A and B are shown apart, each in its own frame.
Chain A
Amino acid sequence: GAVVSQHPSWVICKSGTSVKIECRSLDFQATTMFWYRQFPKQSLMLMATSNEGSKATYEQGVEKDKFLINHASLTLSTLTVTSAHPEDSSFYICSATGGGANVLTFGAGSRLTVL
C-alpha cells in the first residue's frame, strides 16, 4: 500500500535556529500534501495544503513566513520552521494523496522540541 515517510522522527534544536522536516511519498506520486500540527492532548490542526509546483495554501492564523512549505516534486514536501522558539515545540504530521486514488496516507509524525 501507499507509504509516507517523515524525517526526522524527532529533533531537538536551540531557540533561534531553523529546522527542516521532510515528507516523502515512497511508492506513489503525491499531487497534494497536507501539514498538521498537534499539541499534547489536542486535535491535529491543519496548517497548510501544498500542491506540487505551486505555493502552499495556509490556514487562517498560520504564519507563512514562520512555517515555510516547499513541494518541489511529486514525492517530496518540506516544512521549515524558521527561527524556532519553545512555543513551536509540537508534533508535526504530514499526509499525502495522489496517483488518482482518493486515499489519504499519513506519515508517522515528527516531534520538534525547541530549547
Chain B
Amino acid sequence: GDSVTQMEGPVTLSEEAFLTINCTYTATGYPSLFWYVQYPGEGLQLLLKATKADDKGSNKGFEATYRKETTSFHLEKGSVQVSDSAVYFCAFSIIQGAQKLVFGQGTRLTINP
C-alpha cells in the first residue's frame, strides 16, 4: 500500500553542518511530494513541495528533488542553524491539488550551537 519511509531520528547536528533527511515513498500513480516542518508548540507548516519528476522544491535554504527513478525526495540543507530544530515530515498526495496526504513518521532534528 501507499507509504512513506523517513530517516529515523532523532538527528543531532552542530550549527553550520550539512543536513540530509532521507525520504522514500511507495505510491500508485504520480504523487505530489511535500516536506512539512513542525516547530515546538506549533502546527505543521508546509516547507516545500514538488509536483512532478525532477522538480526541485526549495525554501529557507532547504531543498528536495523529486526523483521518480528512486522514488525519493530527500531533504537537504547546506548549513543548518539552531532555529532549524524541529520535526520534519515527508508526505505525498496522489490526486493533484488534493489535500489528502500520506505522511512519514517524522524526523526530529536538533541543532546545537
- Interface residues in chain A, defined as those with a beta carbon under 8 Å from any beta carbon in chain B: 4, 6, 32, 34, 36, 41-46, 49, 93, 95, 97, 102-109
Contact in complex: B100, A107 (CB < 8 Å): no
Closest to B6 in A: A43
Contact in complex: A106, B43 (CB < 8 Å): yes
B residues contacting the other copy or chain, number (CB 8 A): 19
Contacts of B103 in A (CB 8 A): 36, 43-45
Partner of A46, one of B45, B46, B101: B101
Contact in complex: A108, B105 (CB < 8 Å): no
Contacts of B100 in A (CB 8 A): 34, 46, 49
Question: B113 at interface (Cβ–Cβ under 8 A)?
Answer: no
Distance, CA A103 to CA B42, complexed state (A):
17
Q: Kindly name the residue among A6, A44, A109 whose own CB sees the greatest number of chain B CB atoms within 10 A.
A: A44
Per-residue A-contact encoding for B39-75, CB less than 8 Å = 1, 0 else? 0011111100000000000000000000000000000
Contact in complex: A34, B43 (CB < 8 Å): no
Contacts of B88 in A (CB 8 A): none
Contact in complex: B97, A105 (CB < 8 Å): no
Q: Helix, strand, loop or mixed for chain A's interface? A: strand
Distance, CA A107 to CA B100, complexed state (A):
16
Partner of A106, one of B45, B97, B102, B105: B45
Partner of B43, one of A41, A103, A105: A105
Contact in complex: B99, A4 (CB < 8 Å): no
Distance, CA A61 to CA B70, complexed state (A):
31
B35 to chain A minimum Cβ distance, whole angstroms, is: 13
Distance, CA A54 to CA B44, complexed state (A):
26
Contacts of A6 in B (CB 8 A): 43
Contacts of B105 in A (CB 8 A): 41-43
Contacts of B31 in A (CB 8 A): none
Contacts of A4 in B (CB 8 A): 43
B25 to chain A minimum Cβ distance, whole angstroms, is: 12
Contact in complex: B99, A43 (CB < 8 Å): no
Closest to B44 in A: A106
